[in-house]
Structure 1
Amino acid sequence: MTDQIGIFDGHNDFLLRLLRAPGLRDKIWLTGEGKGHLDLPRMKAGGMIGGFFAVYIPSPPEPAMIDMDRAMENPPYDLPLPSPVPLSAAQPVAAAMIGHLMWMERTGTLTICRSAAELRATVAAGRIAAILHFEGAEPIGDDLDALHLWHAAGLRSLGPVWSRPTLFGHGVPFRYPSDPDTGPGLTEAGKRLIRECNRLKIMVDLSHLNGKGFDDVAAISDAPLVATHSNAHAVTPLSRNLTDRQLDMIRDSDGMVGLNFGNIFLRPDGRQETITDWDPLLRHLDYLIGRLGEDRVGFGSDFDGTSVPAGIGDAAGLPNLIAALRGHGYTDDLLRKLGHENWFALLERTWGA
C-alpha cells in the first residue's frame, strides 16, 4: 500500500497556484478544487507525507517565451531564457508565497520543518512535512542579508538559479538535444552564497544550474550534492538532465537525485506530449539507481510546474506509480527508500540530525 511507502517529494510549485488565486486558499488547499496536481485531499489520497515547497518568482510575459509549449512539441529546440528579475520585484513575491505556506501551517495540516528531527516528528504526527525551498535566488541581494532573513523564516533549501540568470549564476536554457555545458558558472556573489548556505546548513539544489555552475558548487560545497528534480541525460539528452559525469559526482559526494515526473524530462525525444505508458519513467529510474545506487534516488515530481504522465495525473495517482514499480520488480524495501527514506537520510547528512 502507498500509505506504507509514504511519498516525500523533492519539488512542487503549489505555492505559485496560491499566489495566482488570492482569496481561494481554503478551497485550493483544504478541500481541493480539482485543478493542478496538488492539494491536501489528493496528497492524503496519494500517500504523500510531505515535500519541498518551492518559492519561484514568475517572469513577466515576454514575446520570445509565448510559444514555449509549441516549440517543445517540435524538437530540436533552443528556447530563449527570460530576462533577470530584479531584487525589488522578487522580494515581495517571495514574502507573499512564504506567507501562504505559513497560512497552511496555521491550519494545523502542515508543518514547515527546519530540522531532520522535526521532519520525522511531523510525519509521525500525521501532518504534511514541508521544506521551504527557493527555486532561484532572486529574493536575495549581493550582501546576502536577505538569506539570513529567509533562513529565519524557515528556508532550508535553495537553488541559486531557476533557468534565467541571476546575480549568482546561470541556468540551463530549455534546449534539446544539448548537454548542460551552456555558459559561464557561478559569479563571485554566487560562490559566497554557496559558502553561506553551507554555514547555515541550507541545502543547495543543482537542478537548474548549467554545467560550469554545477562544477563550481561541487568545488566549493562541503555538503552532499543534490538535484531535487532532474533526470538522466543518457536517456533524454535535454540540457536540464544530468550527465553521467554529474551523476558520478553526486554519487561520490553521497548526495541524491529526485526523479522529475515532467514529460519533457522523461521522453527520449524531448517532447512535452503526455506519456501514456510507464516505460520512459522506468528507464530513467533504472538508470539513476544503476548509476547512483539504491540509497541516492528519490522522487522530485515537479507537480504544478510541468505536465506529468497520464498514469500519474496528479498527487492522488501516486498509488498507480507504486503499483507500476512493484510490477517492474521493485521491492517494498526499495520503494520505501525511493518514497521517503533516502530523502530523510540525505537531509540528516546535510542538516545534521
Structure 2
Amino acid sequence: MNNLCKLGWENSNHSTNLEHLARVITVQKNSYRISDGKMEYLAHLSGKFLNETNSTMDYPAVGDWVEAQKLEEEKKAVIRRVLPRKSQFVRQAAGLKTEAQIVAANMDTVFIVNSLNHDLNVRRIERYVLATYDSGATPVIVLTKKDACSQEEVEAAIATVEEVAIGIPIIAVSSVSKDGVAELMEYLPAGRTVTLLGSSGVGKSTLVNTLLGKEVQDTKEIRESDSRGRHTTTHREMFSLPNGALLIDTPGMRELQLWDGESSIDTTFQDVEQLTTECRFTDCRHDTEPGCRVQEALATGELSEARFESYLKLQRELAYEKRKQNQKAKQDEKSRWKHISKFQKEHYKYHKKR
C-alpha cells in the first residue's frame, strides 16, 4: 500500500483489488507506461477493452488509475479497465472532427502557466480557468519568467490577471532565481497531483526541471520578437517530486478549444453573472433594456467591454460545440441502428437458407 501512496492513491476515493492496480504515467500514441509505485511497466490495452470501448474518452489518460495484468519479469502489462475519474481536463481535439480529448485525469490542481512577456493573454487565461473549473480541479495561475521583468511590470501583470481570475491564487515565479518557487510548493503537498497547462514557450518544461531539481525535460529558447516558443514536450508524462507530490507535464497548446463548460461559466465570470442578477428584468438581454445593470457597469467602466465580450463569445462557442456534439450523437446513433438492422437481416437470411 505504501508504494501506491507514492502515486496519490489515498486521494483517489476508490476501493479495488490493489494487486492489479497501477497509474498511467506516460501516454505516447497507443503506448502506455504505468506504475504501481514499485515498478514501471510498458502496457497495452486488452482485446476486450478495445472491443467494448467506443469512445476515446474511455481510453487511458495520464493520471488515470487502471486495473492491469502485470508481467513483472518482462516489465509489461495489459490494461483491462480504467477506474472512474474524480477529475478530467477535456478539450475539443485538434482538427475538424467533433471529438473530445482528455489531456489529464485525477488531478487535484491545475497550474495555468503564462509567461510575463508578450505572450501574457488574459482572454486565454479565461478559457483555461473555465475548462479547469469544468474539470473538477482547482485552478492556480502561474506567471513565469519573473526575472525578465521589473517589479512594477510584475505587479501590473498580476493586477491585470486578477481582474479575470477572481479569487484564484496568482504566483509569479522565476526558474532562474527560484523566486516564487517556495510559494508554489505550497500547492504541491505530498500525494497531490498537479497538471501544468499552457501554450508553447511559457516555460512549463523549465518549471518542471526546477521543481524536480534536475533536467528531465528538454527546453528551447523563444523568439525575442514575439516571445513565441516551440513545442519541447511531445507527450504527456507524470513525474514524482522529491517531496512526494505528482506533476503532470503536457505539450503546449496552440489553442484551447472548449468541449464543455456551461456549468462553470458562472464561476469563471462571477463578476458578470452578479451584474446580470441586478438587472431590472429577469429576461434582460443586456443590450438596450431600461434598468440594465450590465450596460450601466459598461458605461461607468466597472465592467470592461473586453471582459463582457469574452463572456458572450464563450457562451456562443459553448452553445455551438453543444449543437455539434448533439448532431454527432444523432449520427452515431443512426449508424449504430443501421449496423444492427443490417446484421439482423443477414442473420435472418442465413437461418432461412438453413
State whether TM-score is above 0.5.
no
Q: If each structure's helix is expressed as a fraction of its own residues, which one has the higher value?
A: 1
> Normalising by structure 1, what TM-score?
0.27
The structure, 1 or 2, with the larger RCO (C-alpha pairs under 8 Å, 6+ apart) is: 1
Give the TM-score taking structure 2 as reference length.
0.27
Which entry has the higher C-alpha Rg, 1 or 2?
Answer: 2
The structure whose residues are more often strand, as a share, is 2
